[in-house]
Amino acid sequence: MTPQQSINQRDNDISLVGLGPMGLALGAALVRKGHAVTVWNRTPEKADGLVALGARRADTVAEAVAASPITLMCLNDYDTMYEVLGPATTALAGRLLVNLNSGTPNEARAALEWAGTHGIDYLDGAIMVPPPLVGEPGAVFLYSGARDLFDRHRPVLASLGDPRYLGAEVSLAVLYNTAMLEMMYATLNGWLHASALVASANIPATEFAELALDWFMPTVLDPASLARRAPALDAGDYPGTLGTLAMNLNALHHITRTSEEQGIHSAQPRLMREIAERAIAAGLGEGNYLSVYEIFKKPDGA
Ligand code: NAP
């Protein structure tokens, strides 16, 4: 890259560090949307496809970040980000770093502090879609940090999908991200364990899915019905008039015992049963099942 190219930066120039499966998808979406994209990756040949599409390959990370007013990071974790950006902090000063790596709230707060000590503007972010959906209109990206930085760079961030601003507290993007991933894994595990339960009687997952998912979606996982129940969590209001937690404990016993009887793994239902038992021991047995929320809000063993 010539010095002239880095002097003539336009607002929609963007640099991208990290070309795993997700970084490659980000790069392709940005090139498609007409951005001048400069990329760097530890393994340089992973950029070949993007270069063929029109991206520019930087030889060093410092050269990459100097090419644009914004740098997107898409690495495996925060520690790798510090390692990779170590030689590029001077080049990044006065520019925006948008970190899309996964991590924890404390890691996001530490990254903001680190950026501040180097004069780097910082937003934290999280990607809520798999690589093939990046750049599509419904692709949700979460951001947190200074509002003015988000507002100023929103048009560029919108090229990746639907940017949602969560607030000035920089850790909110990773907090929401982990909460939403927890919903995903818990739901998937419920379906997988239930499929294993009927598979123990030689029923294929496809046959079970046909009936079970037809029941599950409108009855249990209907978004409107869950949204109607969310105010009860905020209010701590769990009337047991239509069914108590004590009654639900019976069902959790049955799932655990049936798993054991059928010779499949039983740790998952046992854990759900133990949480319900803890809630009952805390005096919540006459409320409805949602009252286990009170147990989840406290640290283990409290
Ligand atoms: P990944 O395996 O998490 O990250 C791969 C990237 O990290 C590559 O660029 C790799 O470089 C780089 N890297 C790893 N260790 C390094 C080191 N010591 N020094 C320099 N570079 C290093 O793959 P990914 O799927 O692209 O994910 C990137 C981020 O996106 C993650 O934080 C992930 O949580 C998030 N995300 C991914 C998905 C998904 O479905 N893939 C969905 C949502 C969010 P090399 O190419 O040289 O190995």
pLDDT tens by residue, 15-53: 999 999 999 999 999 999 999 999 999 999 999 999 999
Over range 160-173, report the average pLDDT.
98
Cα-Cα-Cα-Cα torsion 285, 286, 292, 293, nearest 10 degrees, comes to -150
Least confident of 120-129, 212-221, 267-276: 212-221
Q: Is 86 in the pocket of ligand 1 (CB under 6 A)?
A: no
Q: Is 127 in the pocket of ligand 1 (CB under 6 A)?
A: yes
May I ask the CATH class of domain 176-296? mainly alpha
The tokens describing 199, both together, are 């598979």
The tokens describing 78, both together, are 């925060």
Please give the pLDDT value at position 11: 73
Please give the pLDDT value at position 221: 85
The tokens describing 301, both together, are 């063993």
For the chain, which residues make up each domain, given as ranges? Answer: 3-168, 176-296
Instruction: Flag whether pLDDT at 1 surpasses 90.
Output: no
Do 3-168 and 176-296 show the same overall fold?
Answer: no
Q: Which CATH number is correct for 3-168, 3.40.50.720, 3.30.70.20, 1.10.260.40, 3.40.50.10680?
A: 3.40.50.720
Counting Cβ atoms within 10 Å, is residue 200 exposed (0-12), middle (13-18) or buried (19+)?
middle
Pocket test for ligand 1, best of 75, 84, 134, 178 (most atoms within 8 A of CB): 75
* Res. 2 pLDDT band, cuts 50 70 90: very low
> pTM, whole model, 2 decimals?
0.92
* Res. 9 pLDDT band, cuts 50 70 90: low
Specify the ligand 1 atom closest to the Cα of 103.
32
Instruction: Flag whether pLDDT at 3 surpasses 70.
Output: no
Q: Are 111 and 137 in contact (CB under 8 A)?
A: no
Nearest CA to ligand 1 atom 7: 75
Task: Walk across the sheet containing 56-57 and list its strands.
Answer: 56-57, 37-40, 14-17, 70-73, 96-99, 121-127, 140-145, 162-165
Please give the pLDDT value at position 12: 80
* Res. 157 pLDDT band, cuts 50 70 90: very high
